[in-house]
Amino acid sequence: MLALRGIRKVYGATVAVDELTVALAPAQVHALVGENGAGKSTAAQIASGVTRPTAGHVEFGGREVTFGSARDAEALGIVLIPQELQLYESLSVAENMYVGRPRPRGRGRLVAGHTMRRRAQEQLARLGVTIDPASRVQELTHGNRQLVAIGRALMLDARVLIMDEPTASLDEWEAQRLLGVVSALRSSGVAVLYVSHRLPEILRIADVISVMRDGRLVRSAPGHDFDEASLVTSMLGRPLVRHAGRRTSARDEVAFESAGLTRTGVFGPVDLTIRRGEIVGMAGLIGSGRSEFAQTVIGRDKLTGGQLTVAGRPVSIRSVRQAVQRGVGYVPEERQAQGLFLALSSKSNVSMAALDRIQSWGVVSPRRESRYVRDALARLAVKGDINAPVSTLSGGTQQKVLLGRWLALQPSVLILDEPTRGIDVGTRFEIYRIIEQLTDSGVAILLISSDIQELLALSDRVVVMRAGQLVGEFSGDDLTEMNIGAAALGADASHGGTR
Amino acid sequence: MRLVPAVRAETAAKVGGLVLLLVVELAVFTVLSPDFLTSSNLFNVMALDTENGIIALGMAIVIASGGIDLSVGSILALSSVTMGYAVQHGQPVAVAAVVCLLTGLVCGLVNGVLVVVLRLHPLLVTLGTLALYRGLALGISNGNGFSGFPVSFQYFGQTYIGPVPAQVIVWLLIALAVYGVVNATPAGRRLLAVGINELAASFAGIRVGAVRLAVYGTSGLLTGVASLIYASRVFSDRGDTGTGLELLAIAAVVVGGASIRGGEISVARTTLAVIVIGVIPDGLQLAGIDTSWQYVTIGVVMVAAIVINELFAGRASALWRRAPWRRTEMEDAWTDPAGVA
């Protein structure tokens, strides 16, 4: 029905997709799986006309087609439902479902609202759900918004539905309901391209599974030819790499202990200890509760149970300020949104968490501030004018400035949340070196990362969080991509330390 | 804080624009009336601007934090009325003055608590308290003015030190103090941090709620000070004074070149802008022009100041690109309904 033939897509120097050939058939769910950056989303965007391939072509009904935009694809009944739903939150469900097609007119050419609502309701009923078409999208749960987006696609008489990570932000119940809807669509003859990294649901729903790695199709076969282990192996590809064994700096004393830390409905109970000089990696999918755990540790969110121990003393941390006083630091995941003050200088950004330490008689001492900041940034090899606004710096340098803020505080426990996301390779290895130096001086590190290679390169141990629970802990010979990936995805590990 | 050259140039340009405007105003009014450019008249203008000048300093702090305070005019009325109430009930002037300042402070803190604890938008909170405080002022004064202050009450608003009205000196001292706090203390850094990026501020260990509370408390307290000077100058209090004052204060901050979205503050430019605006009614009056033209002139000068600021700051092209008669975001959305292309 819809086919991609020999597709290649190049962004600058990066080849996102190469020689990809995938064919969808009516009444079939075709799953596209792969690691982050494997090229799944790019493939979905090309199939739906959002982006154009650099080479290769798209066929629809046996004929080659060229899409100028998503509108062209929608006119043929090919509809993309992106991961970030593009709905108008302040408009009604019915209005949203009519976006992109003419609204029914009543007397005097006025839009006939009641007709819109009735037709919207009919489409939603086809999906087996009751959502009031007059309610506004912002009032709906994420699962219901997903259904509205599907409803809009049905309004457009979709014959091919392309879903990019549809269950990523859904809870278990909503995900199950969505899978039911997808089955129903299949029965009615729709071809579904289903992009996801949730392996259990893919094995349940997919008629055909195509595995992508580094932009290429590595295996395409009927769904029942796969099991979780073989799927993970195809996705990761390389013969399973063992951790080379970083020279550990871990000492015996426990620096940090979380005993049954819980935030009801979000994560927990979490039991975790980190020794001085140890790097504990924390793996898990987006939304598994890793950042939430970290933000509760530093007192930004309220814990509902459990006890923290820092340097052997039980502590309660109810604010970031207290965390700093107790020697616990957190470098947040979103560098620009959560970390930096872009309009301010590197100097102000570094000193912002230490104003109490560089003041005398209630006045910031310029001399002490400069010395404090220079000391911090010298260790990070940050070059350039420390009075220049950080908005003028490169992403890598911005990250180093943010790290500098926390290193300068000399924490005994440092939580790094995705410290190298979006950072070029050179700076990435510099940051690795900085992290290892920190552990030499006895700092305990919790490294939250979605990059398994990074976890393997740095960690003494890796714990895996899934749905708010620590579901695995791996070290030594068990510290492999396979084990971490399987635990994070919820597949059974073939061996290893799953608790 | 040392600034990079580009920022320094922008700041200099904004100050330059305001000075230019002031020079033009002075020249025009001097031509129109020989009585304008005399030291006694200029000091008189400064004395009349003092209340707005002090309130504008508080407003500059509130706006720098990313907030707004619409209730200052009503706080001015309420704190002067409570002071009159205290005097009427036999309290000495010193006690009444403290009552006035405390009223301002409490009103500001109430705004702060509503913004911080209930997480309401400051525009809505202070719009509500604008009505609330005004109502209380009218209620306590029964709608009548009070002018029975003892002679010693003149001390706050009618004293001269040499030729200089005492309140002008108070104003400049407060401006210096605010300048010092904003530029040299941890509190000033935290203020800007909250205004620039509230989320990042909280991740850096700044107690955002405490900063906001302090900000609205300061605005209320400074308005209390202005209220004291005002009541002493006109030697009476009325429940309906200070109407529309919030607009003058906000105008001074914006004409001074601060972003209404927060994260910036300039004490010098805000103070200069108060004078640029405040000279107008006096100049028109001396020139014998009907005072009903005051607001027209003030409006023209304000718009001119904002345009000059934008031009000097190199933002004119950005303004042009954002102009409402050009393609708007909503139109883009509807010509690309799926929002995906």
Q: What's the CATH number where B221 sits?
A: 1.10.3470
* Domain annotation covers residue B132: yes
- The alpha carbon of residue A402 is apart from the nearest alpha carbon of chain B, in Å, by 10
pLDDT of residue A165: 84
pLDDT band at A23; cut points 50, 70, 90: very high
Average pLDDT rounded to a whole number, residues A275-287: 89
CB contact under 8 A, A69 and B336: yes
Contact B59, B126 (CB under 8 A): no
What's the rounded Cα separation, in Å, for the pair A29 and A31? 6
pLDDT band at A495; cut points 50, 70, 90: very low
Residues 6+ away with beta carbon under 8 Å from A147: A124, A127, A129, A131, A178, A181
CATH 1.10.150.80 at A2-236, yes or no: no
- Whether residue A269 is preceded by a cis peptide bond, meaning omega within 30 degrees of 0, is yes
Most confident residue range from A68-77, A328-337, B59-68, B159-168:
B59-68
* Domain annotation covers residue B341: no
* Domain annotation covers residue B340: no
pLDDT of residue A171: 65
Average model confidence (pLDDT) for chain A?
Answer: 87
Rg, Å, chain A Cα set:
25
Burial degree of A235 (CB within 10 A; 0-12, 13-18, 19+): buried
pLDDT of residue A172: 63
SS3 A268: strand
CB contact under 8 A, B338 and A99: yes
DSSP-derived letter for residue A84 is S
Nearest Cβ partner for A364 among B3, B184, B196: B184
Residue A395 has pLDDT above 80, yes or no: no
Residue A38 has pLDDT above 90, yes or no: no
pLDDT band at A427; cut points 50, 70, 90: confident
Name which residue leads in pLDDT, A492 or B52. Answer: B52
What's the rounded Cα separation, in Å, for the pair B60 and B192? 11
SS3 A287: coil
A179-183, A198-202, A422-426: least confidently modelled range:
A422-426
Mutate to test the interface with B, among A363, A401, A415 (most CBs of B within 10 A): A363
Domain holding B269, by residue range, is 5-335
Contact with chain B for residue A348, Cβ under 8 A? yes
- Domain boundaries along the sequence of chain A: 2-236, 254-489
CB pairs below 8 Å between A and B: how many?
A: 96
Q: Please state the domain count of chain B.
A: 1
ipTM of the complex as predicted: 0.83
Distances (CA, A) of A296 to A304, A415, A488: 10, 12, 21
Residues 6+ away with beta carbon under 8 Å from A367: none
pLDDT band at A424; cut points 50, 70, 90: low
Contact A398, A343 (CB under 8 A): no
Contact A41, A67 (CB under 8 A): no
**Same topology for domains A2-236 and A254-489, yes or no?**
yes
Interval A282-298: pLDDT, tens = 998 777 889 999 999 99
DSSP-derived letter for residue B283 is H
Residue ranges of chain B with per-residue pLDDT less than 50: 1-4, 316-321, 323-341
pLDDT of residue B339: 36
Query: pTM of the full predicted structure?
Result: 0.74
Nearest Cβ partner for A74 among B189, B263, B338: B338
A27-31, A351-355, A381-385: least confidently modelled range:
A381-385
* Domain annotation covers residue B83: yes
CB contact under 8 A, A385 and B339: no
Interval A84-122: pLDDT, tens = 788 898 999 999 999 877 888 888 888 888 899 999 999
Contact with chain A for residue B177, Cβ under 8 A? no
CATH no. of A254-489: 3.40.50.300
